[in-house]
Amino acid sequence: MKNKKNQLYIIWSVVILFFLMVILSINVIPDIQEERKDKRYVYLGKDAPIPSQLNPIVEERKNILINKAANQKIDVVITEGIRTFEKQKQLYQQGRTTTGNIVTHKKAGESFHNYGLAFDYALLDSNGTIIWDIDYDGNKNGESDWFEVADMAKKLGFDWGGDWEDFKDYPHLQMTFGLNIAMLKEGYRVNDQVVRKELKKYIGFYELSPKHMLNEINRHIY
């Protein structure tokens, strides 16, 4: 009889422990995850102002990219940074309701350009002419200057449109800090102070691989 009671006690203890773990996973863990996310970005409400210039961290990384490319004798020119909703609307209409080729699949408010988290680049050739030739080898090292710049950008933490499978956007570079378009539309914005503070904690940040870099940011911020 005593052994039977002990067995029942063990069984009920396991059952109670199981339900406690389920409750914890449903209620507590999501709250912790949400708290961790909140450190990377802030919620400014449905009427959150739309940025009028590139995010300051994106701006800094963009300038580092230009300098690193120049050191490799590659002249990079930024053809577009922040993009207004109205211009995005016009670009989306191109090739659909207006003349020209389709240049974007993003409507107004659906591009990271609209929130200062993306920019487009091109190259300057030896004559100082802006070109979009992805095969151009101006520094004569046997490699495409365009792809060299893309590789530098990815080491700085940018996502490159040339890696996209559905629509190759070779001039496009973006840095989203974990935000997506739906969140930006809702009013979330990058918490620049937190991100900038963490980036300064270790040297050679922009020499890390993109995956390593993002892991390092998340490890520090979380």
Q: What is the mean pLDDT of each run of 10 residues along the chain (222 residues)?
A: 60 67 52 53 93 96 97 98 97 96 94 98 97 98 98 96 94 95 96 81 46 50 42
Within 10 A of 132 (CB to CB), how many other CB atoms are there?
13
The pLDDT value recorded for residue 119 is: 98
Residue type, 175: M
Write out the DSSP string of 100-129: S----S--TT-SGGGGTSEEEEEEE-TTS-
The pLDDT value recorded for residue 23 is: 58
The pLDDT value recorded for residue 138 is: 97
Q: How far apart are the first and last CA of the chain?
A: 52
Q: What CA–CA distance (Å, rounded) separates 146 from 148?
A: 5
